[in-house]
Chains A and B, each alone.
Chain A
Amino acid sequence: GAVVSQHPSWVICKSGTSVKIECRSLDFQATTMFWYRQFPKQSLMLMATSNEGSKATYEQGVEKDKFLINHASLTLSTLTVTSAHPEDSSFYICSATTGTATQPQHFGDGTRLSIL
């Protein structure tokens, strides 16, 4: 149980393109979803926290107009990287939980984004 599906797993696109990444909880209702960014050989960096039906809370230094997060239902959150540039290339991972971060975290398989 507790499966989180993240799609797509790999995206390559041109600079200036907007890219949408989906994070779905398949067998549970995710009250809260977290979006992370991971650089090579580094740990995960929290970008934002999204609660169903509310605006996302962004971490300091993360541009909310650049990284649009929508959590319209209890099973789906999306991260849209708007007007992506090469410096946005990274590995993006979502996690979902039934409550707050004190509950077990369930992670997607990640999305590798490459901007040419």
Chain B
Amino acid sequence: KQEVTQIPAALSVPEGENLVLNCSFTDSAIYNLQWFRQDPGKGLTSLLLIQSSQREQTSGRLNASLDKSSGRSTLYIAASQPGDSATYLCAVPSQSGNQFYFGTGTSLTVIP
């Protein structure tokens, strides 16, 4: 069974800092990896999706990288803002496509 872990579990940084969130998965045979953001009491907002053939994806201040062989993905947030405060989740689908494995999440707080 795929296991997805995120480090750190919580992170607090001053506004303006660049930061990196980590995601690791045990089974490297993945189709893709998706990063989500969840605000308190809300659903998930998709940030980036990286296909297995890709190395990275960028959207604005966000950059996600994928290293399948080592079972890792990182989400880089440049020039962090208080509005970036949220929980960030990574997730990968199962090989059969009938399951979606979520990471444990990183709770980010950006201090003004």
Contacts and interface: CB of A to CB of B under 8 A. Distances in A.
A107 B36 contact: yes
A4 B103 CA distance: 22
A73 to B, nearest CB: 20
Interface residues on B, range: 20 to 34
Contacts of B98: 32, 49, 57, 100-101
Contacts, number: 58
Contacts of A91: 41
Interface in B60-112: 89, 91, 93-94, 96-100, 102-105
A44 to B, nearest CB: 5
B100 A95 contact: yes
Interface of A: 4, 6, 32, 34, 43-44, 46, 49, 57, 91, 93, 95, 99-102, 104-110, 112
B46 A107 contact: yes
